[in-house]
Structure 1
Amino acid sequence: MDIKVLELDDAENPEFITVRMSVQEAAFLARVTGGHSGDTAEEVLPGGATANRDIYSALVGSVFNRYWDGGINDYLLGRE
């Protein structure tokens, strides 16, 4: 994974991060986030349920469900 853009807020702290990641890295994140319930994600990080849902939805909805008929599971089966 490479950091491509780091956008700072008014206090010059990171606010947004644009990354370039491999499909394998995206699959890892999708599987990890997909395995967490809202309660578990909140235990990891306050506000984590929203972040967890957003990451999973973006990766699965925009990548894996679009390019593999069976979504993330189809991609992972093809790697075995």
Structure 2
Amino acid sequence: MARDRPVYESYLHPVYGVIGFVGELFLWGAAGGGAFHFARGLRAAPSGARLAGAVRAACANAPSVAGTFGAYCAAFSAV
């Protein structure tokens, strides 16, 4: 009879799971913040430069939203 593979999951250090979780939430914050600030910049820019204003607003504000989401996730995981 051949040996079957064990059913349990392999051991993964908890720190690696936390780092992956923080990274995932950082990416979600970057995507959501980029979309939100793009739409906000598109609406607030003058009529001749709407696309440039939208891109500028997204590039300026999305990293701070992503960092905030990552920090909240790290604090939540620490608790």
Query: TM-score scaled to structure 2, two decimals?
Result: 0.32
| Larger relative contact order (CA 8 Å, sep ≥ 6) | 2
The structure with the larger Rg is: 2
Answer 1 or 2: which has greater helix percent.
Answer: 2
